[in-house]
Structure 1
Amino acid sequence: MSVTTVKWTVADYHRIIAAGILEGRKVELIGGEIIEMAPEGESHAYCSDEAGEYLIYLLGDRAKVRQGKPITLPLNNSEPEPDIAVIQRLGQNYREHHPYPENIFWLIEYSNSTLTKDLGIKNKIYAAAGIAEYWVVNLRTMELIVFRDPTDAGYQFRETLTHGNINPLAFPNVSVAIDRLFGN
């Protein structure tokens, strides 16, 4: 006997949430599957929070920095909750929908226990959705892994940094201190 897994659409997922079935559970929709999210450890919570505040200060009115909130990737039936999403300022439009790929400048995930997922399935869905830039902060090694040039098969560019500055593609005149992403 073969087993078939039910794949959920974003619309299905929203109906499940509205019905209260997932109340009190930390989950996200990834590739049509409802996945439980790992709890945040102290280092993860501290570093992502500090980086979020730093980026808010650094970017000012140029972009909105959302921390731990959903984004909607309709083409691959996903609604992940990246640690940081740097998005267009669309004000009350976000009352009607979470940011779509065309609203996203770049995403950042902080990884310790979720490193395999963040470098694997999340990397693939973000690239397939056309997210121009994706950063993974590896909390085990204190490295920033930068992905750029998305294709349906994944990102074509990968670079690992441990110090210095980086200029996001969407804001080439903004210099982000890598140490500040590590909470330093």
Structure 2
Amino acid sequence: MTIMIAKWTIDEYHRMIAAGILSDRKVELLKGEIVEMSPEGKPHAYSSHEAGEYLTQLLGNRATLRQAKPITLPNDSEPEPDIAIVQRLGREYREHHPYPENIFWLIEYANSSLEKDLETKSKIYAEVGIPEYWVVNLKKLHLVVFREPLDGEYATKLTLTAGTIQPLAFPDVSVSVEQIINS
């Protein structure tokens, strides 16, 4: 017997949200599947918030930081990364969430969701051409940097514990790894 999983489009997912079907659930759409999101623990909440504050100051008005807000991807995915650094499109975001072409880079903080963030989400983001994706491993306190999407995966993967990193979109900006990890 073959088990078939029902897949959902972004439009169907939005209709479920509008109808209130998902109002009491913390979920995201990944490759057409509605996936429960892990509860946000104290270290996760603290670190992602502080990193967002730091990056906002660092980038100024060069980008907008969206924290725990959806992004819309053409592979039937609408994840809610902890931090999305996106183009400043102002009121345009009233009409749609950021698309891949609006995204400079994404950051996830992971403890219980580490495997999903390192494996599943990295492939989803690479598939749609997100140029850079960072995962903060809250268990080991290191930063995993994915760059150069190629054939549905990232060609480059770096693990950092200290120093600075220059985001691809802003090579003149030095981001403190410690501020992103420990904040």
The TM-score with structure 2 as length reference comes to 0.98
What CA distance in whole angstroms lies between the structure 1 residues aligned with 2:64 and 2:95? 17
SS in 2 for 1:45: helix
- Name the aligned partner's letter for residue 97 of structure 1: H
Residues 88-127 of structure 1: per-residue CA shift (max 9 Å, x gap)? 0000000000000000000000010000000111000000
What CA distance in whole angstroms lies between the structure 2 residues aligned with 1:47 and 1:183? 6
Structure 1: where are the runs of 5+ without partners? none
Is residue 124–residue 152 contact of structure 2 (8 Å, CA) maintained in 1? no
Q: What fraction of aligned residue pairs are identical, expressed as a percent?
A: 65
What CA distance in whole angstroms lies between the structure 2 residues aligned with 1:98 and 1:63? 15
Residue in structure 2 matched with residue 126 of structure 1 by the alignment: 125
Deviation at 1:151, TM superposition (A): 1.9
Deviation at 1:21, TM superposition (A): 0.3
State yes or no: 1:4 paired with 2:4: yes
Superposition pairs for residues 54-93 of structure 1, below 5 Å?
54-74=54-74, 76-93=75-92
Residue in structure 2 matched with residue 179 of structure 1 by the alignment: 178
Superposition pairs for residues 1-184 of structure 1, below 5 Å?
1-74=1-74, 76-184=75-183
- Name the aligned partner's letter for residue 36 of structure 1: E
SS in 1 for 2:25: coil
Is residue 107–residue 134 contact of structure 1 (8 Å, CA) maintained in 2? yes
What's the Cα RMSD here?
0.7
Residues 26-65 of structure 1: per-residue CA shift (max 9 Å, x gap)? 0000010000100011100000000000000000000001
What CA distance in whole angstroms lies between the structure 1 residues aligned with 2:87 and 2:49? 20
Is residue 141–residue 182 contact of structure 2 (8 Å, CA) maintained in 1? no
What CA distance in whole angstroms lies between the structure 2 residues aligned with 1:45 and 1:56? 17
What CA distance in whole angstroms lies between the structure 1 residues aligned with 2:152 and 2:98? 23
- Name the aligned partner's letter for residue 80 of structure 2: E
- Name the aligned partner's letter for residue 93 of structure 2: Y
Of 99-108 and 147-156, deviating more is 147-156
What CA distance in whole angstroms lies between the structure 1 residues aligned with 2:76 and 2:21? 19
The TM-score with structure 1 as length reference comes to 0.98
Between the two proteins, the alignment pairs up a number of residues equal to 183
Structure 2: where are the runs of 5+ without partners? none
Of 132-141 and 151-160, deviating more is 151-160
Is residue 148–residue 157 contact of structure 1 (8 Å, CA) maintained in 2? yes
SS in 2 for 1:110: strand
Deviation at 1:153, TM superposition (A): 2.8
Is residue 133–residue 147 contact of structure 2 (8 Å, CA) maintained in 1? yes
What CA distance in whole angstroms lies between the structure 1 residues aligned with 2:44 and 2:84? 16
